[in-house]
Amino acid sequence: MKRNIIITGGAGFIGSHVVRLFVNKYPDYRIICVDKLTYAGNLANLADVEDKPNYAFVKADICDYDLMCRLMREYEVDSIIHLAAESHVDRSIKDPFTFARTNVMGTLSLLQAAKVYWESLPEKYEGKLFYHISTDEVYGALELTCPEGRKDEVSAHEVYGDEFFVETTKYNPHSPYSASKASSDHFVRAYHDTYGMPTLVTNCSNNYGPYQFPEKLIPLFINNIRHRKPLPVYGKGENVRDWLFVEDHARAIDLIFHRGNVAETYNIGGFNEWKNIDIIKVIINTVDRLLGRKEGEDLDLITFVTDRAGHDLRYAIDSRKLKNELGWEPSLQFEEGIERTVRWYLDNQEWMDRITSGEYEKYYESMYKNR
């Protein structure tokens, strides 16, 4: 094998797209998916690659340092693409410790396991890479200076403010989730600066697409509309998110893994800002149309509920560095991406039903009963 790559969190939403892309595109790379299979991890997300000869799955907790050291040696790992994390802001508000454990201590455990193994080799860090996947949420929140939206001359898309997150934007996380991701980013950079480990960090905007756990806005709402359940819109639905189709994120990761400069940070985003209430209306119309209902018939499912504590107002990524230096651009228009996404969830009801039976119901009720 030309490379032995651990992809952590590969059974989750984004990780499963990255694993699929690498396993199929690079038959001469061995891809070792390391995942604890928490509530968010699902081997069904990887069913189409599980029999490939260049793929291996290891059920493991990244916080288990001894096991991480063993995996590094056993598989002679030369690269890590690190996606494993607790990823849902609402859960982090209820249970911050789990986020500190996995996102901070788990990342540290992996970094140290990689350091010890790579430093034991004659060539040391040559040909090695620790690639850490992070989020735009570490930068904090942007102002909504154009609440009605305006066309932006740079991006030629609708924007809701004058500022954007760039790679040098100061970290200012607000939620326990983003605080834990910020901390892990700092540790990754510290391993480069202190020990000379070749590291890379990318900060991406909100992803959408197939295989996302239905606690996040888009799959949750698609499923609720299908079953005609209320759609809990936090606050007034005015918050703005910058949405990127997950396969475009996976393509960016592939490109940056192979051609990104060590120790650099790249922001990844689609220049695709939407107010929550507007994207929700698009989702309702799309689900209604694809289910043969009258478009807009389910708009009355919208239910305004108590806002999320510390709810960041606006995220907007400036990804021009990635475009200018490595030539990456999103391949999919949002209209096409959302149509493909809604169609996928409606066509894969069994996948959804498996996840949303049992424990999920209890969790969902506990999350929403107080709103």
The residues that are catalytic are: 136-137, 177
State yes or no: residue 233 binds ligand TYD (CB under 6 A).
Answer: yes
Which residue from 191, 103, 105, 130 is spatially nearest to 5, judged by alpha carbons?
Answer: 130
Strands 231-234 and 265-268: unpaired
The answer to whether the CB of 6 falls within 8 A of the CB of 81 is yes
The answer to whether the CB of 90 falls within 8 A of the CB of 97 is no
CA 283 centroid distance within chain: 20
Task: Tell me how crowded residue 162 is: count the other CB atoms within 10 A of its CB.
Answer: 12
Size of the site for ligand TYD (CB under 6 A): 12
Residue 270, helix vs strand vs coil: coil
- 207's contact among ligand NAD, ligand TYD, none, with CB below 5 to 8 A by partner kind, is ligand NAD
- 173's contact among ligand TYD, ligand NAD, none, with CB below 5 to 8 A by partner kind, is none
Least distance between ligand NAD and beta carbon 212 (Å) = 7
CA angle 335, 145, 221 (to 5 degrees): 35
Closer of 42 and 92 to ligand TYD (Cβ): 92
State yes or no: residue 15 binds ligand NAD (CB under 6 A).
Answer: yes
* Rg of the chain (C-alpha set): 20
Least distance between ligand NAD and beta carbon 216 (Å) = 7
Structure tokens at 239: 């918050």
Q: Identify residues 32-51 at the interface with ligand NAD (CB under 6 A).
A: 35-38, 40-41
State yes or no: residue 206 binds ligand TYD (CB under 6 A).
Answer: yes
- Pick the binder of ligand NAD from 72, 83, 104, 316 (CB under 6 A): 83
Q: Identify residues 126-145 at the interface with ligand NAD (CB under 6 A).
A: 133, 135
State yes or no: residue 12 binds ligand NAD (CB under 6 A).
Answer: yes
Least distance between ligand NAD and beta carbon 74 (Å) = 17
State yes or no: residue 109 binds ligand NAD (CB under 6 A).
Answer: no
Closer of 125 and 274 to ligand NAD (Cβ): 274
- Pick the binder of ligand TYD from 216, 226, 251, 314 (CB under 6 A): 216
Closer of 261 and 306 to ligand TYD (Cβ): 306
Interatomic CA distance for residues 287 and 291, integer angstroms: 6
Q: Which residue has the tokens 């942007």?
A: 142
With a CB cutoff of 8 Å and minimum separation 6, the contacts of 370 are 306
What is the maximal distance between C-alpha atoms in the chain?
67
Closer of 5 and 233 to ligand TYD (Cβ): 233
- Pick the binder of ligand NAD from 213, 328, 334, 351 (CB under 6 A): 213
Which residue from 35, 192, 178, 30 is spatially nearest to 111, judged by alpha carbons?
Answer: 192
**Alpha carbon separation from 5 to 29, 34, 205, 243, 261 (Å, rounded):** 7, 10, 24, 28, 18
Q: Give me the amino acid identity at 62.
A: I
> Looking at 181-189, 195-203, 212-220, 249-257, which segment touches ligand TYD (CB under 6 A)?
212-220
Task: Tell me how crowded residue 293 is: count the other CB atoms within 10 A of its CB.
Answer: 16
- Pick the binder of ligand NAD from 206, 265, 276, 285 (CB under 6 A): 206
- Pick the binder of ligand TYD from 239, 265, 272, 285 (CB under 6 A): 239
Interatomic CA distance for residues 213 and 194, integer angstroms: 37
> Looking at 80-88, 166-174, 272-280, 339-347, which segment touches ligand NAD (CB under 6 A)?
80-88
Q: What is the binding site for ligand TYD (CB under 6 A)?
A: 89, 206, 216-217, 220, 232-234, 239, 241, 276, 308
